[in-house]
Structure 1
Amino acid sequence: MAEQTRRLVLGGATTGVVTRCRDFTRRALDDWTWPAYAEETEDALLLVSEAVTNACLHAGGPRELVLRHSPGRLRVEVSDDNPEPPSPRPAGSRSRPGGHGLVLLARLAKGWGWEPAADGRTGKTVWLEVTAPEPGTEGS
């Protein structure tokens, strides 16, 4: 099976965008026959929510969500217009709630990182990868 790609253009929106991206991802995973309650499916949905939330909080909102599905993996890419790399909130910082998004990416994703925008625009793409569930896997 060749890589399959789904793209959702968001244009920097922040209102309702996390739910929109999560729903978009759930529909794609359903189409790609990921089991609804498999651990990998739940992890993928949580990680999409966290990456998009980070773009909303720290980068003015996501420009685009891209899902790349190939045998054994899902790559999630969230692009925004802020060129600053993602960085964890300093320990002891209490300026705003949260600060757990990058910790979740590090713990749940097979890998994650970021790269400058490839299209010549100002900004970056934060990416993460999740291992696909084995066929027939169901969560408890």
Structure 2
Amino acid sequence: MNSPHYCKQVRLSGRRMPGRCARAALTRQLEELGLSDSADSCVRERADEALLVLSELVTNASRHAGGPVRLTTHWSGNRLTIEIEDNSDGLPSITPAEKRGQHGGYGMGLVDAFSDSWGVRPATQSHRPKCVYAQLSFPSPRKADQHAEDDFVTAS
């Protein structure tokens, strides 16, 4: 796995399908980093979780905040930060289980479950828009021979 430090941004406002655009951008980045096609299944699984978190953040902005404005991703070491900006002053929250249902309420709970941390940088007079972010750490990929050792059980 490469470990460069970079920040990438994609404008989402005005896009007909911002979710599709955001997922395509993150998919490319995960491929460039060798995460989505890693030999280590734990790394590949974490890449899938990052895409799920992104999808939930974009959907939340679309349903509750007038639509996403911009996707920004930061990669440093083994940590990915996903940021979605929107123009709403409303703050996302986790919907209690008893209020979730057929029409939603699961999104921020999934973000909370699959990310290491998440939060909001509220909009201020000097800084618009608001930013909802999630951070995900990726495991160090194991070598192929390490997988075999981990799966080998010695009988005593």
TM-score higher than 0.5: yes
Instruction: Give unpaired runs (5+ residues) of structure 2.
Output: 145-156
Secondary structure of 1:6's match?
strand
Is contact 1:82-1:123 (8 Å) kept? Answer: yes
Q: What letter corresponds to residue 76 of structure 1 in structure 2?
A: I
Distance 2:82 2:125 in 1: 17
Is contact 1:67-1:76 (8 Å) kept? Answer: yes
- The CA deviation at 1:124 is 1.0
Secondary structure of 1:64's match?
strand
Larger RCO of the pair (alpha carbons < 8 Å, separation 6+): 1
Is contact 2:36-2:48 (8 Å) kept? Answer: no
Match of 1:68 in 2: 74
Instruction: Give unpaired runs (5+ residues) of structure 1.
Output: none
Distance 2:26 2:87 in 1: 22
Distance 2:131 2:66 in 1: 13
Distance 1:32 1:132, change over 3 A: same
Is contact 1:109-1:128 (8 Å) kept? Answer: yes
Using the size of structure 1 for normalisation, the TM-score is 0.85
Q: What letter corresponds to residue 4 of structure 1 in structure 2?
A: Y
1:10 equivalent among 5, 9, 12: 12
Is contact 2:81-2:135 (8 Å) kept? Answer: yes
Using the size of structure 2 for normalisation, the TM-score is 0.77
Is contact 1:67-1:74 (8 Å) kept? Answer: yes
Structure with the higher helix share, 1 or 2:
2
Whether 1:57 and 2:63 are equivalent positions in the alignment is yes
Distance 2:14 2:32 in 1: 26
Distance 2:30 2:138 in 1: 10
Deviations 1:59-96 (A, max 9, x none): 01001000000111100000000011112345544797
Higher-Rg structure is 2
Match of 1:132 in 2: 138
Alignment length (residue pairs) = 137
The two structures, once aligned, show a CA RMSD in angstroms of 2.5
Match of 2:150 in 1: none
Match of 2:23 in 1: 22
Distance 1:12 1:62, change over 3 A: farther
